[in-house]
A and B are shown apart, each in its own frame.
Chain A
């Protein structure tokens, strides 16, 4: 089979395969974000992120932070509601990677399960159920846009200033890492009441949401 023949048969799109590139980027970042286990003396697995202070951490942080910022900016710039949801998903996933960097593995996983998996799908459901067309644009007034942009940027600058001014060194220090067991223990001892209350709340929300979204009134 000659190359021309191949050419003739398939009209397009070998080059499209290189769209793998963004996928590989995400993949690589995530791979490297994975944490490494270090056995502590107590036998419990305590995990840390890429060793604090290492080059790896710096590289990873900037990569993931860029991803976070780009996708969260994209959320507010998108006009299409489904795309907003997609970018939100990207943001949430990146934040989950940031959690990995912050040695909060459990939280990161939960973020993926609950937030990215559950909440987002809920949103998408909402989008699909409530939109005649996702391209339907409800444009706010020019003034509102400008005002919002101004306020947000001022706020950002203000926050930045605050961060610069703050004397973080006077605060208690960092810690090595944490295990799921610690988290569970404090959740069931110190924070047991909020925990229970959250359980009750979820139950109520479940009933309430089911009631709200019920078809036959």
Chain B
């Protein structure tokens, strides 16, 4: 028995909702099981307390806070450009997008104009990072389902993306590339060509993933119809990103509230469809794990499409706005939400006339999406819990901040 179990069992009343256990319900040993914080399929340090009856999970309660680093508070003692490196440590799988979100928030607050070239490059990197992030999500989701191989295929491609990131900004995970007022540095020579080459290479790989994983019979059996989120539920729980679109709601901030010139690009917002139609396998229900998963696959295609457009029409010019040194934040507040790979990532920034914001608050998609875990994991099989959590695709760094 591990320590955690001992602790847990000493105060079981906190966790077991005894009222819900019907009297006379002939239960075999109900058990409280800790899934995490050190568990292979909780993707980090998420701890889920499962109340199980045999293989059935009666209740799953996520416990968070194992990775809390006061990220928001730190933002209140640093100048915005100093705070940029902290943002990409939140959702560490989508550093570019996080940088972008905070940068745009500060730009809006200060009314900075970002040059066209910088905006285009931002779009390229945001989408590129979206692909990288979705690749991780896909691969690890396969891993959750017991398929090890797709994981390595995904990471193979991701490594190439990271190579390109490294070439652009020198870092492979925490980029701090997109900064307030533009981007940190212009692209290196030949980067665009290499990137296009990669996109040519990458696009057919998406079909590979589909063949390997998405349409694998067992995979579909495991995920289709599991953890169904209805439209109402999705809205009520404030889901955003793939989980929201996986429930069939066409909502994407890039379309709805465009930023960084997304209105100039031509792309679709993929949403889930139910099974039996076209290529969607039988048994798939809108809002289930498979739908959430597949929305990500489709989004990768769209990202490639956006990147191609952006790279083709990359304007010349500056990559950084004027007047960003000693930026004074006006006594005002702003909230900007952008479409992170995981959903709506919003930054609320309040200035007080100094160079340091008086309040920084992030609205993280993972944190909000995670809230659906408990209702989804009610009366499911034990093996469905990783399927559900994996399909929500949380990054604990951002949940805990």
Contact = CB atoms under 8 A, between A and B. Distances in A.
A touches B in complex, CB < 8 A = yes
A127 B28 CA distance: 12
A124 to B, nearest CB: 14
A137 interface: no
B29 A217 contact: no
Most B Cβ at <10 Å: residue of A129, A132, A215:
A215
Contacts of B26: 215, 217
Contacts of B28: 129, 215
Interface string A195-217: 00000000000000000000101
Secondary structure at chain A's binding surface: helix, strand, loop or mixed? loop
Contacts of A132: 29
Interface string A113-133: 000000000000000010010
A132 B29 CA distance: 7
A217 B22 CA distance: 13
A215 B28 CA distance: 9
Interface in B160-177: none
Interface in B29-51: 29
A173 to B, nearest CB: 54
Interface residues of A, number: 4
A2 B78 CA distance: 52
A132 B26 CA distance: 15
Contacts of A129: 28-29
Interface string A96-122: 000000000000000000000000000
Contacts of A215: 26, 28
B12 to A, nearest CB: 13
A51 B28 CA distance: 52
A71 B206 CA distance: 60
B224 to A, nearest CB: 25
Contacts of A217: 26
B175 to A, nearest CB: 39
Interface in A161-217: 215, 217
Nearest to B24: A217
B150 to A, nearest CB: 35
A217 B28 CA distance: 13
Nearest to A132: B29
Nearest to B26: A217
A128 to B, nearest CB: 8
A215 B55 CA distance: 12
A217 B26 CA distance: 8
A19 to B, nearest CB: 23
B314 to A, nearest CB: 55
A215 B30 CA distance: 13
B197 to A, nearest CB: 47
A71 to B, nearest CB: 29
B17 to A, nearest CB: 20
Nearest to B28: A129
6 contacts: A129-B28, A129-B29, A132-B29, A215-B26, A215-B28, A217-B26
The 6 closest A-B pairs by CB, nearest first: A129-B28, A217-B26, A129-B29, A132-B29, A215-B26, A215-B28
